[in-house]
Amino acid sequence: MRKNVGVNIMIVFLFCMTLISAVVEDYPEQNVGEQFTFCQTCSDATYVTLSSIQTPNSTIFVAANMTNVGNGDFCYNYTAVLPGRHDFRGISDGCFKTFATYIDVDTPNIVADIVLLLFFLILGAGLYITTSKINYEQWHNSILGKYTGKNEAKVITSGIVYSFIKEAFFLYYMIGFPIIMIIRDIVTSFGMTYLSGVMNGIVIIYSLGIIICGILFLGKMQEVIVNIGKQMEGMRWGI
């Protein structure tokens, strides 16, 4: 008799744990500024309504039906702008009628972003200081003097390197791209939504600009190589 009572208690306990796990789902930690999909599973519901989202500093009253994506899953896309705990509450016409669960939201590693930002800024400053001290005319003549009539492949290779350094605008542009991306991530991490849209627009424009900048650089590089080739030919004929 006592054995049967113990078995019954264990069955009731397991059933209750099943109910609890069905009501409160375990969601992985999310990041500020990154959209994620919050879902609830209820196979016998025709709708699931997200009532509210409790953020660390306010309550967002949603009162909107979550999207039925099939197989009893109802989902809602959400982007957190503040780190901390976010509580989701809602109702439905099936399962247990109501649900309440939460998701922890963290900020990305801002320290790493700041270190990377400083690295690229120092890299850009170092490139500017280095290139401003180069005597390009002397370097140009050195390329012709060392390799003309000996190794034309080295002349072309040296001409490409010479173009990269002399026409440094392309290198500056390439260094600027990760700087903008990092600044956008930092803005997003601090929840500055009013600046996030602006930074996203800048990233798109800057990305398209790489194509134009690349075409201009290739044109400059071709001009330098052709010019060196002509000078080599002239030196060969004693002009």
- Tokens linked to 97: 């009628």
Report the predicted TM-score, pTM, of the whole model to 2 decimal places.
0.50
Q: pLDDT class for 82, splitting at 50, 70, 90? A: confident
Closest CA to 68 of 87, 86, 88, 50: 50
The answer to whether residue 8 is domain-embedded is no
Query: Average pLDDT of the chain?
Result: 77
Q: Identify the domain boundary among 89, 106, 123.
A: 106
Q: Identify the domain boundary among 106, 133, 151.
A: 106
Note whether 91 and 62 are within 8 A (CB): no
Residues 152 and 210 in one domain: yes
Closest CA to 225 of 170, 174, 164, 172: 164
Residues 68 and 152 in one domain: no
What value does the mean pLDDT take over residues 166-189?
Answer: 82
Q: Identify the domain boundary among 86, 106, 126.
A: 106
Residues 92 and 174 in one domain: no
Per residue in 22-62, pLDDT tens?
Answer: 334 467 788 887 888 999 888 888 999 999 999 988 899 99
The answer to whether residue 15 is domain-embedded is no
Residues 159 and 102 in one domain: no
The answer to whether residue 64 is domain-embedded is yes
Surface-to-core class of residue 87, CB atoms within 10 Å of its CB (0-12 exposed, 13-18 middle, 19+ buried): middle
Identify which has the larger pLDDT, 191 or 47: 47
The answer to whether residue 17 is domain-embedded is no
What's the domain count of the chain? 2
Q: Of the ranges 11-25, 74-88, 199-213, which one carries the lowest mean pLDDT score?
A: 11-25
- Tokens linked to 158: 């040296």
Residues 98 and 182 in one domain: no
Q: What is the pLDDT of residue 222?
A: 73
Residue 62: which domain range?
24-106
Cβ burial 135-161 (10 Å sphere, 16+ → b, else e): eeeeebeebbeebbeeeeeebeebbee
The DSSP bridge pattern shows strands 30-31 and 98-106 to be parallel
Q: What is the pLDDT of residue 211?
A: 84
